[in-house]
Structures are given as structure tokens and as C-alpha cells.
Structure 1
Amino acid sequence: MSLSDLTGRWKAFSYGFLDPSAKRELRRKMIKAVSVPGCQMPYASREVPIARGWGTGGLQVTLTLVKPSSTVKVIDQGADDSVNAASIRRFLSRVSGASETWDTLDATLIQSRHRIPEEKLSRDQILILQVPNPEPLRGVEPNMSTARQMHADADYGRMWLQLYEQMVRSGRVMLGASYPAMVNGRHVMTPSPIPRWDVKKLHMAEHLTILSAGREKRIFAVPPYTRVEPLVFDDVPYKVEDHAHLTCARSGVTGYFMNEIPQEDGSAGYEVSDSHFGIKAIDARDGGTPTVGQTWYRNGELA
């Protein structure tokens, strides 16, 4: 047997890589997810040319929604130029003919891992978040059948108990990323591994947010103008990361979510996590006239 015996003639694949049946199912599940905000919908996650755990869920949603007139932005922990983000963006462009961009304001589809851009999204944009673990109850109920029943009954007492125990033992809620939030007053969701800084950006936002977990085969959504309220006790306010006083060493912007960069002398430097927002700031500082959109935060406070 030779290699040629195992290969066939090249055949064109469906537009956007996924076959029509897969896209049809994903569209139906997205409609259901939008109709019941925050509720997880199962779907048959297909194979795509990246490994499970590297954004297959988000990629399948983007491939379903993309069209030749789309403009696609892909970010990985705020960066447009990371290997994962660049590879996914290039793949999307090649199989769909869509345009690529780094600018949040120009994009119609924004696929993201771990971050929501600092500039506000409009009603004409769709945010697609990659989710490694869509089940917020997994930490308190490992049996998924029981967890599904708890969601059906809106029984979130164990989750409240977990938050209370963390406060008693540590003096504060220890959850950083994936902070649980109540959507539309009914379903608790885990908003992907975005930091607490980004969770409030989903509350009454103009844009549609779709969250997809390819490995776990679950999809859920936050429609525009929907309440997204982090789980907090009445006498303990929700706190985001204390980055208001930090300044980006490259761009000079202050009051936005920063990445900590260890220095050779043991100290720490900081760099704004939204890389293209920092590029715009550098361009403006050097005399350019970039178009900068309205931001969710100003001086570390939600506007």
C-alpha cells in the first residue's frame, strides 16, 4: 500500500468549511439559545482543523455566521497577533472570503478567548466567546444529570453556599475568571474564562454574545439588552480587578485591564491587555488620528 492509495482527488468543500447540515443545526441551536438567554443548548460538535480545547466551539459558530461581506477579528487573551488568533483568523478568511481586521470598530464578527474588547460593541456586531467549561455548577455538582435538573429547577443554593464559604475562609470571593452570573433573572451561566473586569460588559449590551464550548458540545447566548448580573450578596458588592491606577508601559493609557509583565529586576511592568486598543493609543501619542470608540471603562470605573 502506498500513500497515493490512501488519498483521493481534491474535492471542493462546502462554503465556510462546515457542511450545510452542521450549519443548519448550529443556527437552530443559536436561535434557541437566544430565545432562552443563558440556557445551555446541546449540539453535535463537528471536527474542525484545530485541536479540542483551542477554540473549536467558537470557530464552529463563526464558520456558521460568516459570509463574504463579513469582517472578522480574532483575539486571544486580548492579543490579535498571537499564534492561535492569527491562525484562526487566516483560516476563516481563506474558507469564507471574509475580510480580516484588528480594529474592533471595523469587525462584524469578533471571536475571542478570555477577553472582551475595551471599546464598546454596537448592535451590528456579534461577539463569539470560546468556552472551555460551560457548566457553572460543575464545582458544586459533578454529576451532570443532577446539574441539569438543578438548572431546570433554578436551584442554585449550592453555588451561593460556595461563594459564602469562600468569603468566610478567605475574606473575599476567590473566583477570578468565569465568575457566575444570572442571565435575565433565570439561568446562571459561566461567561467563559473572561475576567471579572469583563463580566459587566455583557449587562444590557447592544450586541449579541454567543458562547460555545466545542469539547463539551454546549452553546448558550446573551441577547442584546439582557440583564447579566454577577452573583453577589446584598451587603458585599461585586468588585472587579483593581487596575485603575496601573499604566501601560508601551502606550501610556491608564484605567484599563492590564497584563502583568515580570521584569528582570523582579519588579512588574504592565501592558494593556487589549493589544489593538494600545496600538491606537500609541498612534495617537505619535501624532496620528486613529478612530477610537467609546470604552466600557473610564479610569477604572464602568462608564
Structure 2
Amino acid sequence: MFTSEGVADKSSLQFHERFSMSVEFNKLRKRIRRLAGQAVVDYGMIEEGDLVMVCLSGGADSYTMLDSLLYLREVAPINFDVVAVNLDQKQPGFPEDILPAYLTQLNVPFRVIEEDTYSIVKEKVPEGKTTCALCSRLRRGILYRTAVELGATKVALGHHRDDILETLLLNMFFGGKLKTMPPKLVSDDGRNVVIRPLAYCNERDIKAYSAAMNFPIIPCNLCGSQPNLQRRAMKEMIQEWDRRFPGRSDNMFRALTDVVPSHLLDRKLHDFNTPAKVSGELDDVSNWLAAPNEPSEVVVAPIRLMPGTSTIGSSAS
């Protein structure tokens, strides 16, 4: 394995490189599956007897979601099934054979819905303007209708942690609302329950996992590059924050799980006319404001993205 000079030979280096990649891949896969399972448990996403309609676009996120749900189906203490659905929007050059071949190989039941939303979007949206809003509304309506036709009890979308944070900032900066993508919601008409099993997973891990798994990625060519998208601006802002202040996005996500309505300004969530119960304790900010000249000793607790330590094997409803 080693030469007389004590330097590893080429075959040895290749072996250790492959071994290292294998170890890192296993860690990555376990992390994604654990986080997906934890999100499913924390938000009661899947119940006994569910038929989960997995919306498969052909991107890294939806492939990773399908992979995770197939794994959870095997290890979960409940019985549920999945059906994959792809929407063929009739974009020029769309490789319509890739997903059917992939899903057939996995023995996953699927349906391809053919709807020419491409022409509608191109007709309605002026040149140079963002197509995402109209495109997503059209897709959502078609997918919801398909879920009802299939008898699916849950509609699974591949949005991840980064999507949730970007949507939070979009709504704050451009919509004047404090809201984002919830891990689980009921559609406006009450007929569909939407779940996001990758809510705890970050985009970096998903991209790395997709590349390692060699998923047959299908790019979205409908919108082109659209470099001035507001969402892209939010993504770049968060990335820059994390470069300058490591862990900031983790804290932002953690904040979404620890909301204090009495310390916001929404009168629909908190009755400010009713005297609050006095606990005898002030929060860190109040303490600092009360004594601004004294040194602050704010202790930052370790970041934990998920409450509890339960896994998919402990509870699912």
C-alpha cells in the first residue's frame, strides 16, 4: 500500500478517497432522512392509510423528497403509500421520457398530466417580467385537482428550509406580512392537505445529495435566467448574511418555531388591553433597555432546529 519512502501509492489514495466519499455520503443521506422524518412527525404530516401524492418536477428537491418518502414508507410504524405526479407544461424541448423511465425503474406508480400552461404564461406575462407567480398558480390548481381525482389524502411539495426563509423575507419586504410557507396546510377550498417533508433540510445538502445520487435532473426552461427575481435577491441576501455572520439563517429558522405574539404588534393574535400576567422576569432586551450602562451578558443558547428527539419510529400521528 505504501512505497519505501512512506508515501501512499496511487491505488491507496484512490481507495481512501472513495472511502471518504462513501462515509460523507452516508452521513448526508442519514441527515436528510432524519430531518425529513422529524418534520413529518413534528407536524403530523402523514397518517395511517394516507395516499401521498408526490409532486415531481424533475428538480433536485422533488427527487430528494421522493427518495426520502420511499425510505420512510419502509421504516415508519404506519402504513401509507405514494403516487408520483408530474405536470408536463408543454415547454419546448421538455424531455417527456425521463421521469416515466425513472419511476418505472423504481416501481413507483405515477401519472403525467399534460397541460399547456406554457402558452398561457407566455401570452399573459409581458416580455421580461417574472413568470413565477402565474406559473405557480396554474400548477397549483392543476395539482390540487389531480389529487382529488386520485383520491390522494396528502399533497407533498419539495420546498426546503431555504425556500421557507426566502418566502418569509419576501412577504416582509414586499408584502408587508409576517408569514411564510408552513410545513403543513389545508388548501383554501378545504379539499387538499399540503405537506412539505423537506422543511428542515437545507438546499446545500439537497443539491449535494442529488448530485451524489445522480438524479436525472430536468431544468425549468420556462422562465430563463430572470436575474432580477425578488426571490433570488432574498437568497443572495441570506447567503451573504451567513458568510458574514455564520449561523444567522439557523437562528432565523429557529425564530419561526418560537414566536411570542405578545411581543409583536398584531392585535388579532394578542389582546393588549388585558393586563399581562407579571412573571417577575424580564427578557434579555428589556433588561438591557432598563440598564443600558451595565454590561450585557446575553447567553445565546445552542441552536436546535427541531423540538424534542423523537424520530419517525416513535410517533407519526
Task: Report the structure, 1 or 2, having the larger strand content.
Answer: 1
Bigger radius of gyration: 2
The higher relative CO (CA closer than 8 Å, separation ≥ 6) is in 2
Taking structure 1 as the reference length, what is the TM-score of the superposition?
Answer: 0.27
Task: Report the structure, 1 or 2, having the larger helix content.
Answer: 2
